[in-house]
Amino acid sequence: MRSVCVVGASLAGSRAAQTLRSEGFDGTITMVGEEPHRPYDRPPLSKQVLAGDWQPERTALSAGLDDGLDLDWRLGVRATGLDLTARRVSLADGTAVAYDGLVIATGATPRRLAGTEDMAGVHVLRTVDDCLALRADLDRAPLRVVVVGAGFIGAEVAATCRRRGIEVTLVEALSVPLGRVLGTEIGSLCGELHRDHGVDLRLGTGVEGMDGADRVERVRLADGSAVDADAVVVGVGVTPATGWLEGSGLVLDDGVVCDETCLAAPGVVAAGDVARWTHAHVGEAMRVEHWDNAVQQGAHAARRLLAGEGPGAGQPYCPVPWFWSDQYDRKIQLAGRAGLDAEVAVVMGSLSERRFVALYGRDGQVIGALAMNWPAQAVRWRVRIADGVAWDDALTEARAGDRP
């Protein structure tokens, strides 16, 4: 293998390029990115950059990428097709990149509400340009912002807007914010956190439409009510960016389908938000949209590519997923998995004080742990989940160590 093409100048893509070099690959690495920017960190976009505390340059990941990696950058150009047989990636500018190995790290694109794609004042938040456009609207001193979707991105945007003194209405179609992710009790707690900070939380209703002449002025909700809005932020999830791979021969099903080693086809690996792989320990296919997964999977995918095609090549990718969200003065950290069908037990601290640890269990095993404002315990339980700790043992262990 003498040439590798990384499609997606993202966190996962950049980590793959760094790992290729650190593992001794001295061939050509071509980095293709649809955005004109070199790779940058996305988590600060909904917090520090949107708040105006950071300038976007501070999110750059370029320091490690400019240190002797010798990359062939193709930025501001979109990949449009893949020929697996010829091992060639077609680009929107009419050129193509030949490769021996391919890393797919194109991430995901935010969903938009039908009919609002071209309406001024209606935003999504995924890229640095999205963030700066929204920040410019917020700098116009709007009186009212409507956030559609109370997932983690929507919740962080709502918290940032409230910190800026902006009136916020947070609209969520589910009856409990984050209920499908964290369960009813803890999801409800997250909703109360926003209400305590002055957010008008509207649950169990969706968006019927938006009104406005030159720009959005009002959001009509499915329950018959309406909310005036100077700006709207839509945070209703993302779709894996696989459109350019249609007809390529790769299996596409809510992402690029890979085996347990992140291999999608001979000479092709995927990493980050776009990758759907079989988790050998969990025994099911999953796609993880978290920062830490992009870092780990980007590195793992690069090593898998270098391992070649022989029988038994490559190691399974079996992480304990890890995620965090900063909202107001609360840090929420989730290790593993949760969900409505899991048993939940608060084993340290208390919900009323909003400093606690909750464990999630299924089939006698701990599958997840959520810590609010208790970082050391979040790290501890991530390790214990990786150890395969049993549910009953974890409850005994946790309660024995329940101290501030």
Q: What is the pLDDT of residue 283?
A: 83
Q: What is the pLDDT of residue 228?
A: 96
Q: What is the pLDDT of residue 311?
A: 78
Mean pLDDT of the chain: 94
Q: What is the pLDDT of residue 340?
A: 79
Q: What is the pLDDT of residue 366?
A: 96
Domains of the chain from N-terminus onward: 3-109+238-306 (3.50.50.60), 112-234 (3.50.50.60), 329-400 (3.30.390.30)
Q: What is the largest CA-CA distance in the chain?
A: 64
- The span from the CA of 7 to the CA of 243, in Å, is 13
Q: Please give the residue that has the higher pLDDT: either 392 or 404.
A: 392
Of the listed ranges 138-142, 219-223, 264-268, the one predicted with least confidence: 138-142
Q: What is the pLDDT of residue 403?
A: 46
Residues recorded for the chain: 404
pLDDT digits (tens, 9 = 90+) for 307-352: 998 878 899 999 999 999 999 999 999 999 888 789 999 999 999 9
| C-alpha separations of 20 from 17, 60, 310, 317 in Å | 5, 20, 19, 17
Reading the block at residue 388, the tokens are 């395969």
- The span from the CA of 252 to the CA of 268, in Å, is 13
| C-alpha separations of 185 from 189, 340, 341, 346 in Å | 6, 10, 13, 10
- Rounded to an integer, the average pLDDT of 213-227 is 95
The angle at the Cα of 226, spanning 223 to 231, to the nearest 5 degrees, equals: 125
221 pLDDT more than 70: yes
In the chain, the percentage of residues whose pLDDT exceeds 70 is 98
Q: Which residues sit opposite 343 in a β-bridge?
A: 361
CB-based contacts of 43, cutoff 8 Å, min separation 6: 291
Burial 66-103 (b: 16+ CB within 10 A, else e): eeeeebeebeebbbeebebeebebbbeeeebbebebbb
- Rounded to an integer, the average pLDDT of 125-132 is 97
- The span from the CA of 322 to the CA of 43, in Å, is 14
Q: What is the pLDDT of residue 309?
A: 84
pLDDT digits (tens, 9 = 90+) for 96-125: 999 999 999 999 999 999 989 889 999 999
Q: Give 398's pLDDT tier (boundaries 50, 70, 90).
A: confident
Q: What is the pLDDT of residue 67?
A: 62
The angle at the Cα of 129, spanning 125 to 131, to the nearest 5 degrees, equals: 40
- The span from the CA of 355 to the CA of 164, in Å, is 25
Q: What is the pLDDT of residue 404?
A: 39
Q: What is the pLDDT of residue 332?
A: 96
pLDDT digits (tens, 9 = 90+) for 21-42: 999 999 999 999 999 999 999 9
Backbone φ and ψ for 339, nearest 5 degrees, come out as 120, 165
231 pLDDT more than 70: yes
Strand ranges inside 193-351, DSSP E:
200-203, 207-211, 218-221, 226-228, 231-234, 238-240, 256-257, 263-265, 268-270, 275-279, 284-286, 322-327, 330-336, 343-350
Site of tokens 């559609």:
148
Strand ranges inside 212-342, DSSP E:
218-221, 226-228, 231-234, 238-240, 256-257, 263-265, 268-270, 275-279, 284-286, 322-327, 330-336
Q: What is the pLDDT of residue 77?
A: 98
pLDDT digits (tens, 9 = 90+) for 141-190: 778 999 999 999 999 999 999 999 999 999 999 999 998 889 999 999 99
Q: Which residues sit opposite 75 in a β-bridge?
A: 33
pLDDT digits (tens, 9 = 90+) for 44-79: 999 999 999 999 999 998 655 666 789 999 999 999
Q: What is the pLDDT of residue 66?
A: 60
| C-alpha separations of 316 from 16, 272, 275, 277, 285 in Å | 16, 15, 14, 10, 13
Q: What is the pLDDT of residue 293?
A: 96
